[in-house]
Structure formats: C-alpha cells, structure tokens
Amino acid sequence: MSIEELVDTLQLLIWEFGITTLLVSEHFPKMDLLEFTVNLLHMEIEDGICFCWDSDNRLIDYCSMLLMFGEDQVTSIVKKINGIKTEFYLNFKDGYVRISTL
C-alpha cells in the first residue's frame, strides 16, 4: 500500500463508513510505547513530506511521529483486517506506527 492509498483510505473511513475515532500506537525501541485515540485523522502529502492532524490536536499533545515525516522514511505500509477491525502499519527503519479502528 502506498502513502497516497493510505490517505484515500483514511478519508473513506470518515466519509463512507462514519469511522471518526482511531487508535494510534507508536512503537520505537528508543522510546516508550505511545498509544492514544484521535478523532478525524487527516493526512496530506506535499513535496514528499507527510503532514497529519486531527480535530482534537491529540497528535500535537503527544508529539506524535505522524505530525510530519518524510515520505521516503516509510519503508512499507501494511493493511491488516481482522474481523471488523482494520489496522494500518507504517513501518520505518527504527520502528512502526499502527493506526487502527476501535
């Protein structure tokens, strides 16, 4: 899955399926596990830089990796479906971020 496909999928979750709250988990070995919920997560790509924001500014409150990162820093994006739960894994060289439905 590409970042562009992830951007489109996040929009579909909100507008087509009414899923507005997502769980974000950031797993990086040199940092403590960071896990929090966000509402209305949006992602945009401009000149190879990915920007994310949410309606409650939780990404800012938690100094999330998702606030801004280079598109080339992502080694892969994996989508997993388990029953009614969908998870997206953004894999980086030194860890990963999981975005999942509740």
Within 8 A by CB and 6+ apart from 69, the residues are 49, 50, 92
The total number of structural domains in the chain stands at: 1
What is d(CA 25, CA 21) in angstroms, rounded to the nearest whole number?
13
The enclosing domain of 27 has a CATH number of 2.30.29
What one-letter code names the amino acid at 89? Y
| Domain residue limits at 55 | 3-101
pTM check: above 0.85: yes
The one-digit pLDDT tens for each residue of the chain (102 residues) are 999 999 999 999 999 999 999 999 999 998 889 999 999 999 999 999 999 999 999 999 999 999 999 999 999 999 999 888 999 999 999 999 999 999
pLDDT of 31 = 86
SS3 (DSSP) at 8? helix
